[in-house]
Amino acid sequence: MEALSALAAMAGAAFVAASILPAQSEAVFVGLLAAGSAEPLSLFLVASLANTAGSVLNWWIGRLITQGGLERLPARLRPDPAKLGRAQAWFGRFGWPSLLLAWLPIVGDPLTVVAGTMNYPLGRFALLVFIGKAARYAALWGGWVAAS
């Protein structure tokens, strides 16, 4: 039961961290690895998948913006139109490789919203975001193993 609770906590932390809400999942991941609360591979997979799912939520918010406009979103979720325009121009310039960086703090979450506004295909989006986010958790896991 402890492993299930640990995996649920990891899933929640990773999902929220990938949403537009300010949160971090790296400390939870490393803390659960150190505590031995769950199998490391299971933690890695849950963290990577849940973090990707949070980014898919952002992509969907981006789609809502383009389908119904900013006014359909709650006020606190509405991006600044000027900043959104600059982000769309940046995504248009750098394209799909930028999605591999969706794990970066500050810029990663808005990038996933912009991909939705640009109607980037969801399947490719999810794959690229998963690769980047899984690589980050793999690096954390590798660092933890090296330090142990």
pLDDT in tens, 11-38: 999 999 998 777 889 999 999 999 998 9
Mean pLDDT computed over 86-95? 86
Predicted confidence at residue 81, as pLDDT, reads 78
Which residues are within 8 A (CB) of 56 and not within 5 positions of it... i.e. 6 or more apart?
Answer: 122, 125, 126, 129
Chain segment 67-78, per-residue pLDDT in tens? 876 677 777 767
List the domain boundaries for the chain. 2-147
Chain segment 116-135, per-residue pLDDT in tens? 999 999 999 999 999 999 99
